[in-house]
Amino acid sequence: MASPTTPVRSDAELADLAARARLHVLETVASSKAGHIGGPMSAMDLLISLYFDRLRIDPARPDWPERDRFILSKGHSAIGLYAVLALRGFFPVEELLTFDHGDSRLQGHPDMLLTPGVDSSTGSLGQGLAMGTGIALASQKRRTDVHTWVLCGDGELQEGMIWESVIMAPRYRLDNLTLIVDNNGLQQFGWPSDGTSRFDRSEPMGHVDLVAALRAFGWEAEEIDGHDLEDIRAAFDRAEARRGTGAAPTAIIARTMKGRGVSFTQGHFTWHNGVPSPEQLALARAELLGPAERMNAR
Ligand SMILES: Cc1ncc(C[n+]2csc(CCOP(=O)(O)OP(=O)(O)O)c2C)c(N)n1
Ligand SMILES: [Mg+2]
């Protein structure tokens, strides 16, 4: 449901924003010589869709009590969130260049006490769904219309604490809670199976039917293409339509590609983190931006 504080954008505008945000990720990491790339880029279409087409938020009032909440449980993707928050107007885009500096508001992992628009401090994987469940339960008890969205990585689902909330949230009919899984099929490291083991580390949850598992725990679960803006919008619509109906919480398993958007990063676990060279940045610019924008890019 849109509100006066949520600008509704066309798919073309969202795609353009996602491309610009991906370039900010690469440029910022190159400038700070630190940060993650693969996870922010796989999540970018989801993040842009949330911040420009979904969340009821107000950049001028980051502490507005009735705002929707977003928790980046996979906190190592902080630079992706910061790029989107900057484009959305929570702080100047130029501030991205301070990323990961000691005195910056933009730390390597999100700090809710420092950064306008950040609703939770994360980075130690596995904690965000528990925070989101608590916030959703409080919102339900206070009878507010707040919707809480939590974004987890697929590797992150190996953390046991996630499953405590997976058990509990349906028990309280938290129809105001949506879990999104950035199911990019990779975590920090990866190598092909040597044939002696059933699974390899390139596919953290590849052996689990997540939709079936979450449904078995009582969730409303579905799988979508996490890079298809229409698919994302439709799934978000369905999640929001359940709020206030006494339904179960929603889980959206988003099929994504790690490092999505740039030829040398997408699909490569080696770009979980890494610092692009000037030549690689030029290539990324050429792939992400149109000719006119390339002229103006810094
Ligand atoms: C509790 C904890 N253990 C280990 C790490 C180190 N770590 C950071 S990112 C990462 C891999 C996460 O993989 P995934 O959740 O699939 O994220 P994505 O592919 O979206 O980057 C690991 C193990 C951490 N941040 N927290
Ligand atoms: Mg992953």
The pLDDT mean for the chain works out to: 93
Q: Which atom of ligand 1 is nearest to the CA of 42?
A: 20
Question: In ligand 1, which atom is closest to the CA atom of 36?
Answer: 21
Q: How far is the CA of 154 from the centre of ligand 1 (A)?
A: 9
Residue 6 lies in a domain: no
Count of other CB atoms within 10 angstroms of residue 2: 11
Residue 216 has phi, psi (to 5 degrees) of -65, -30
192-214 confidence digits (pLDDT tens): 656 665 556 667 888 899 999 99
Beta sheet of 220-225, edge-to-edge order: 69-72, 148-153, 177-183, 250-255, 220-225
Please name which ligand lies nearest the alpha carbon of 43.
Answer: 1
Which residues, 6 or more positions from 141, have their beta carbon under 8 angstroms from its beta carbon?
Answer: none
Domain contains 105: yes
pLDDT bracket for residue 295 (50, 70, 90): low
Is 3 within the bounds of a domain?
A: no
Instruction: Give the C-alpha distances (Å, rounded to integers) separating 122 from 4, 131, 240.
Output: 29, 10, 25
Ligand 1 in contact with 202 (CB < 6 A)? Answer: no
The verdict on residue 2 lying in a domain is no
Q: Is 276 in the pocket of ligand 1 (CB under 6 A)?
A: no
Predicted confidence (pLDDT) per residue in 254-280, tens digit:
999 999 999 999 988 889 999 999 999
- Does residue 1 fall inside a structural domain? no
CATH number at residue 83: 3.40.50.970
The model's pTM is 0.95
Domain span holding position 292:
11-296
pLDDT, average across residues 161-183 = 98
Q: Is 246 inside a domain boundary?
A: yes
What is the residue-wise DSSP string for 24-84?
HHHHHHHHHT--B-HHHHHHHHHHHHHHHHT----TT-TT-TTS-EEEESSGGGHHHHHHH
- Whether 197 is covered by a domain: the verdict is yes
What is the secondary structure of 204-215 as a DSSP string?
TTTTS-HHHHHH
Can you give the pLDDT at residue 293?
66
Q: How many domains does the chain have?
A: 1
Q: List, in sequence order, every residue forming a beta bridge with 151; answer none if it has no partner.
A: 72, 180
- For residue 186 and ligand 1, the question of a CB distance below 6 A is answered with yes
For residue 1, name the pLDDT band (cuts at 50, 70, 90): very low
Using alpha carbons, list the distances in angstroms from residue 11 to 34, 53, 89.
31, 10, 20
Pocket test for ligand 1, best of 37, 187, 200, 272 (most atoms within 8 A of CB): 187
- With a 6 A CB cut-off, is 187 part of the ligand 1 pocket? yes
Q: How far is the CA of 203 from the centre of ligand 2 (A)?
A: 8
